[in-house]
Amino acid sequence: MNFIKKIKKEIFIDCCLGLLLASLPLPFGFINIALGLFIISCIISYKELKFNRNIALFIPIIYYCLCVFSLAFSIDTQATLKYLSKGIFFLIIPLFFLFIPKLSKERCLRIFDIFSYSMVVASIIYLIRATINYYISGDTDHFFYHSLVTLDVNAIYISLFIGLAFINLLNKASKKIYDYIFTFILFGFLILLSSKNVIVITLIAMGFSLLRLIKIKQKKPIIALLIVGILMSIPLSKKIYERFDLEFINTSENVVLENGIINVSIKNAWDQKHFDGNHYFNGSSFRVYQIRIFNEIMQENNSYLTGIGVSAEQEKIKEKQINYELDNYYGDLNFHNQYIQSFAGLGVMGIILVVILNLNNWIKSIRQRDILFFYFTLLTTSIMFTESLFERQRGIVFFVILYCIFNQINTSIPNTKNPPNKL
């Protein structure tokens, strides 16, 4: 406590926010500990706290209240109750942000730097782990996708964290030598994670960054950016190419792969009446199949208006998997689309609130012309088409914290030390 009193209270809050973001790849216990530290930092700073009428911060709170209300009509109350404990971040974090003073650009940069450097450390640890596993087994798969970070942590979610950390360091106003090195590490690690969606969006953000650097005549960063792009094209090995290529296998007719596995086309994922254990859905066809069974579930339960209760859909998905005679694996997966996930659980109001959250981010990120905010908005809007972001605690914490930070920036105070990264 004596130590805390000696430092600025706002710095303590910023560090706690940075640590909360840094805890995302760690076991959930660490995330909860970091949340506790953030709450303590706010309580200690009670004299500086003052309620502010930031309407944007009420939207995630309303979303959580709707989740609570869904208990009244949930078809699986146990699953809904379990989700409410996991989704409490929708309530707690915005509530505290409603009392935190507006964040200066300098404070935001401090938070994001803590986060970015922690992601560098995490990347190095994962790479060391993959190297050890490679020397034990001789299998290069340890350097790619879920095998690199484990399926439980999930390569898609780690890609979100790494991508944001990379764009932050790439657009940092004044870089040290180690910042350039860390930028290389993060982008290389992102490529190895092989998330098609995140890689494409990150390349788009790199293009905006390049245009900005040309505009302000920053030659060294431009050269560094080009070198990053050239060197990091090397890790696009056969394994990563296959992850992209598999999506473009015949979209109208099923294709037989090795070992008799049948790759289901996008068309047949929607139309085919029966499957069996040999049928395999690639990323695109699987999402189409999930939209198909979502529509069937909603029609059968007549639940388009109210939904069937947040996170209560899994038994219905399992029934569809059994009905279509698919491998048990497909019965354990959620909709992998946050828009239809919220629609299924919360009805029309659920999807409307998700759209409002994203629309608010689009309007403000374009208005502020902040590259990092724009990247976060593009990334989360897009990833919600392929992942149920709010069904995993890491996804909830990632979205809610950054949503609150970006919507709590004080745009009226210019930052002379670190000029904002404009689009």
pLDDT means per 10 residues in the chain (423 residues)? 59 90 92 92 80 91 96 93 94 93 88 95 95 91 88 91 94 84 90 87 84 63 59 54 55 67 84 84 86 92 90 92 88 92 95 97 92 94 94 94 93 55 63
Burial class (CB in 10 A: 0-12, 13-18, 19+), 281: buried
Please write the tens of the pLDDT for every residue from 375-409.
999 999 999 999 999 999 999 999 999 999 999 98
Overall pTM surpassing 0.95 (yes/no) = no
Question: From CA 208, how far away is CA 138, in angstroms rounded?
Answer: 40
Nearest alpha-carbon partner for 59 in 402, 325, 419, 400: 400
Nearest alpha-carbon partner for 91 in 325, 354, 400: 400
14 contacts: CB under 8 Å, gap ≥ 6: 107, 110, 111, 114
- Residue 409 β-bridge partners: 103
Question: From CA 110, how far away is CA 370, in angstroms rounded?
Answer: 16
